[in-house]
Amino acid sequence: MKKYFQIIINIIMALITLCALVPFLLLVITSISSNDSIIRLGYSLIPKDFTLEAYAYIWKEKMQIFNAYGITVCVTAIGTIIAIIMTLLYAYVLAKPSFPGKSFFSFYIFFTMLFNGGLVPTYIMYTNYLHIKNTILALIIPGLLLNAFNVILVRTYIQNNVPASLTEAAKIDGAGEFKIFARVVLPMAKPIIATVGLFIGVAYWNDWQNGLYYITDNRLYSTQQLLNNMMKNIQYLSSNSASAISSSAIANIPQATVRMAIAVIGILPILLIYPFVQKYFVKGIALGAVKG
């Protein structure tokens, strides 16, 4: 009886898991199929043939993808580091029980979770007053550097895991706040830094909205924005294909497969890193749930 129960729930879960996985399989399989077979037979989970022509095409054309990749890597690295430092500093101060002005500064950041000015004023401020349109800063600064949720997460962690007696002892030994922060708090906060850093890193890697709002110069396209714009070109082509100009014109470049190959290249780093860091994500999500 118990054995059957285990088998049944495993089958159900395996099916659900498969549902999550199938779109990714379709993406990868398409990217290694020949363009002809896709045009003739459509996207399929069973590879009709195997070819790396889509990837060869990307390599040969030295397509923008490499430049875009460089932009994404830079933005992710710089943005994540700055964001982690700002989040930790803010959270560390809020975790001090005796800090005067603590309730003001808590409310100050917390209120951003309740109310915001919306896209229009933000956009106008960043473009017309701070002039970050079409600069790399536009991919790093707006919206991503500091959010209240992460600050609360880190503050709670420091409160619960870094004993006040330890920082007090360091203070008696004559260490200043910056030294205590760097020597005592940082090492003890490593797990939460890993978790929050991963969340921020993935947010930067996946960000396409800042590109959509602020970048029109294609030398500054991130991978996400490049993918986004390629999709728009497809729309353009397919909306014309009804009027019968195009199927041969589109077929000149291996459209159907190159598109998917670029998408594969775009998510590859996440797919590769993810299995190794997924426990930090799971921990982080569960942690956030304790104090939503």
Partner 1 sequence: MAAFKKKLIKYMPLYIMLLPGFLYILVNNYIPMAGIIIAFKNLDFRKGILKSDWAGFSNFEFLFKSPDAFRITRNTILYNLVFILATMIFSVLVAILLSEIRSKKCIKLYQTVILLPFMISYVIVSYLAYAFLSSETGFLNGILKSLGLHTVSWYTEPKYWPAILIFINVWKGLGYSAIIYLASILGIDQELYEAAAIDGTGKLKQIIYITLPLIKPTIITMLLLQVGRIFYSDFGLFYQVPLNSGALMDVTNTIDTYVFRGLMTLGDISMSSAAGVYQSIVGFILVMLANWFTRKYSSENALF
In this complex, which beta carbon is closest to partner 1, that of residue 77 or of residue 271? 271
Token representation of residue 200: 């921020």
Q: Which residues in the 152-181 window bind partner 1 by CB under 8 A?
A: 176-178, 181
- Kindly state whether residue 13 participates in binding partner 1, applying the rule CB under 8 A: yes
CB of 248 to partner 1, least distance (A): 14
- If binding is defined by CB under 8 A, does position 36 make contact with partner 1? no
Residue 157 CB: number of other CB atoms within 10 A? 20
Q: Is residue 145 part of the contact set for partner 1 (CB under 8 A)?
A: yes
Chain positions 181 to 210 lying near partner 1, rule: CB under 8 A, are 181, 202, 206-209
The rounded distance, in Å, linking the Cα atoms of 39 and 246 is 13
Q: Got the DSSP string for 267-288? A: HHHHHHHHHHHHHHHHHHHHHH
Q: Which residue has the tokens 């002039």?
A: 131
Tokens 């986004």 sit on residue = 228
| Sign of the dihedral through C-alpha 48, 53, 54, 55 | positive
Q: Tell which one of 73, 89, 136, 237 touches partner 1 (CB under 8 A).
A: 89
Is residue 74 within 8 A of residue 221, CB to CB? The reply is no
Stretch that binds partner 1, among 40-48, 54-62, 153-161, 186-194 (CB under 8 A): 40-48
- Which of 72, 80, 90, 258 binds partner 1 (CB under 8 A)? It is 90
* Contacts of partner 1 in 248-287 (CB under 8 A): 256, 259-260, 263, 266-267, 270-271, 274-275, 278, 281-282, 285-286
User: Which residue in 65, 140, 151, 192 binds partner 1 (CB under 8 A)?
Assistant: 151
Amino acid at 76: T
Distance (Å, rounded) from C-alpha 180 to C-alpha 164? 11
Residue nearer to partner 1 on the CB measure, 218 or 278? 278
Residue span binding partner 1 (CB under 8 A) among the ranges 3-11, 49-57, 71-79, 158-166: 3-11
| Chain Cα centroid distance, residue 239 | 31
